[in-house]
Amino acid sequence: MHRVAIAATLCIVLAPPAALSQAWPARTVRIVVPHPPGGPGDVPPRGFAQSLSQSLGQPFIVENREGADGLIGVEAVRKSAPDGYTFIATSAGTMIVNPSMRRNPPYDVFKFTPIVHTGTLQQLILAALKAPGHTLQELFAAAKAKPEAITVGTFGSINLASLFVDWSKANGMRFYPVPYKSASQGLLAIQAGQVDIVTFAAGPGSRLVQAGKLKALAISPRRNDRLLPGVPSLREAGASFDFTTWWGWFAPAGIERGIVARLNGEVAKLIADPGFNAKFLASQGLDTGVNAGESPEAFDSFIRRELSEFQDLMRLVGIKPQ
């Protein structure tokens, strides 16, 4: 029995990477989500986990590890073994924005292996019905005429809402920021008449526009006439900046490349499935028409471009790492 155990161990150690990736997964796979339950940060990973459990024959479980702007979840994954049994499903905010905002970041995106891009979150600039103007240009004119009279619901450190306020200030327009703990709280506030402007995911936000409860002034990063015909992109509406919130999966650095390729392929198949996409991605305002489902190498190149562009945006609006 002792010889058999040694022989089995040697077979595993000496097995080529292709064999190891074919054997994966052999047990439960953990997907860390550093975001609260519900919404575009949580619903898609749960959909992927459910489908991957069926297709790969092992449980894929979602573990919400929110807090500290995603740091808690990120650190848990960074310190995990790169064995293909721990991944993180998160956003540009966690992997690009948060480290860029710190002079001495506790982590950076290059401490992880990119697996797959899972979608770009389209966001709306939403206005209360009582807010001045029906276009972004009319809103800008009102903000210049009466500085800080128009309120904007913000949340967290850096997001489309906070960048909108910073960019506007740098361009002679002064909005009054009202901080909330989350985008969802800001959305409730604008519906209650407590603020004039918020930003929110295009999927659920568009339903409020279609119901006549809010006005859509712009959509980011590009227009979506299927969702809201005629609503211009942020740049088309008159802003000289944009901010893309994308989502993707990562593993601890050093994971075997065969596992990366296999998981990438499985997730890409789900993204391309119309039924899955409609239920778990499009319903949350995620656009998968560009970049989503591409190879790990393409995702890596995309991340490097995004990092450079966000650092340029920080300089544009005058944000300095703290």
pLDDT at residue number 182: 83
Helix (H, G, I), strand (E, B) or coil at 66: coil
Alpha helix (H) ranges present in 192-278?
A: 202-210, 257-272, 274-276
Round to the nearest angstrom and report the end-to-end CA distance of the chain: 59
Can you name the residues that pair with 245 across neighbouring β-strands?
121
Can you name the residues that pair with 64 across neighbouring β-strands?
33
Q: How far apart are CA 206 and CA 227, in angstroms?
A: 7
pLDDT at residue number 16: 55
Q: Which of 182, 190, 206 is nearest to 282 (CA)?
A: 206
**Dihedral over alpha carbons 266, 280, 116, 108 (to 10 degrees):** -140
- The gap from C-alpha 280 to its chain's centroid, in whole angstroms, comes to 14
Q: pLDDT band at 10, cuts 50/70/90?
A: very low
4 pLDDT more than 80: no
Determine which helix (DSSP H) or strand (DSSP E) holds 13, and give its type and residue range: helix 2-14
What is this structure's pTM? Answer: 0.81
- Average pLDDT over the chain, rounded to whole? 89
* Domains of the chain as residue ranges with CATH: 2-121+244-317 (3.40.190.150), 123-220 (3.40.190.10)
Minimum mean pLDDT among 56-65, 159-168, 193-202, 265-274: which range? 159-168
